[in-house]
Amino acid sequence: MLLFVGLGNPGAKYAKNRHNIGFLAVDRIAEDHGFGPWRSKFQGDVSEGRLGSEKVLLLKPGTFMNKSGQSVGEAMRFFKLTPEDTVVFHDELDLAPGKVRVKRGGGHAGHNGLRSLHAHVGDSYARVRMGIGHPGHKDKVSGYVLSDFAKADADWLEAVLRGMSDGATDLAGGRQERFLNAVSLQTAPPRSSKSATQAEAPKSKSPTSDTQDTKTDSTSPAPADRSPLQRLLDRFK
């Protein structure tokens, strides 16, 4: 069994915040892959289902971001899971909006949700880092992550969520490159090449057609209208 954790803050007030992109990710996976209904458990909300051959528990901690580790730790202990069985989806200030990276282990870089997870379950869990961009100054970070996504973010956000849902089965199966490829196909689809007919220059006329006079004397009868004697006389003109 695997545990997929989306980080965020509970309640309608925070639902569209940048800090809640982890919640949005697991919500999308649950919806697209036919997971069971959300129910309250482990100090949060859980939904169960399958991704390929893997049984997966989705978890949205209800403890607020800075205490996420309490909820995750409780779920892991109940199912006897290790950090290696756990994948955490979270917002990432150090990545541009729409960029997604996967890593295992490492520091928390000041992220309060990851800081709590480190304290309760260690640091060897896998992370799906979803870029939301940086406001430009550290003093603006709190207000930025706790603000709603802008209307201008709608397209890239939808592409990221769709791509992660498309690649979720590969992520569960340990195929990280294929997961990232699925995301990339939505966020940066390959451009279609121009057709050969658009690039091809118009064909020029042959030299013969440019110089050869193909006009006929409009006063002369067409060959089919001339008598055998007239056609014979033509040969001696």
Can you tell me the distance from the alpha carbon of 22 to that of 47, in angstroms, rounded to the nearest whole number?
15
The active-site residue out of 19, 33, 90, 111 is 19
Beta strands 100-104 and 86-92: pairing type?
A: unpaired
Task: Give the DSSP H or E segment for 73.
Answer: helix 68-79
Respond yes or no: is residue 19 known to be catalytic: yes
Phi-psi region of 134 (alpha: psi -120 to 50; beta: other; left: phi over 0): beta
Cβ burial, residue 35 (10 Å; 0-12/13-18/19+): buried
Nearest to 88 by CA among 66, 113, 51: 113
Catalytic residues: 19
